[in-house]
């Protein structure tokens, strides 16, 4: 997801907030309504990736605590790789780096 997608989502909500026929109730502040729409949408966009990163981090911690140093390598590297990939996707989703083409 890039800046253009975020701008389009915000543009849509701003137009709805300023429209008399939009979804926003007239007694609700436009800025608060647009903010609420964005937060709900943003959580949907990044939630699964955050869940995956948190799960992988927990797996890494569990593996470290259960295994001796000699037993850690293969399982640990798999979980660490998954964690790094999930965090990379999260960074892209947050717009902190552009996705590679």
Contact (Cβ atoms closer than 8 angstroms) between residue 91 and residue 83: no
**What's the full length of the chain, in residues?**
101
In contact, 47 and 56? CB cutoff 8 Å: no
Exposed/middle/buried for residue 13 (C-beta within 10 Å: 0-12, 13-18, 19+): buried
Q: Which residue has the tokens 């996707």?
A: 89
Residues whose CB falls within 8 Å of the CB of residue 1, separated by 6 or more in sequence, listed in order: 45, 92, 93, 95
pLDDT at 101: 55
- Across the 101 residues of the chain, what is the mean pLDDT of every consecutive 10-residue run? 87 91 84 91 82 85 77 75 85 67 55
Spans of all domains in the chain: 3-20+27-93
* pLDDT given at position 50: 79
Q: Check: CB of residue 2 under 8 Å from CB of residue 98.
A: yes
Token pair in block for residue 2: 């890039």
The end-to-end CA distance of the chain, in Å, is 13
pLDDT of residue 83: 87
**Is the pTM above the cut of 0.75?**
no
Q: Are 86 and 49 in contact (CB under 8 A)?
A: yes
Predicted local confidence at residue 21, as pLDDT = 82
């Amino acid at each position: 997801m890039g800046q253009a997608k975020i701008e389009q989502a915000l543009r849509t909500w701003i137009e709805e907030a300023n429209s008399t026929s939009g979804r926003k109730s007239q007694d609700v502040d436009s800025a608060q309504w647009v903010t609420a729409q964005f937060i709900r949408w943003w959580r949907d966009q990044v939630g699964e990736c955050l869940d995956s990163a948190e799960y992988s981090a927990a797996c890494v911690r569990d593996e470290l605590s259960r295994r001796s140093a000699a037993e850690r390598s293969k399982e640990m590297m798999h979980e660490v790789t998954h964690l790094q990939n999930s965090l990379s996707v999260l960074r892209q989703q947050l717009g902190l780096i552009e996705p590679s083409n």
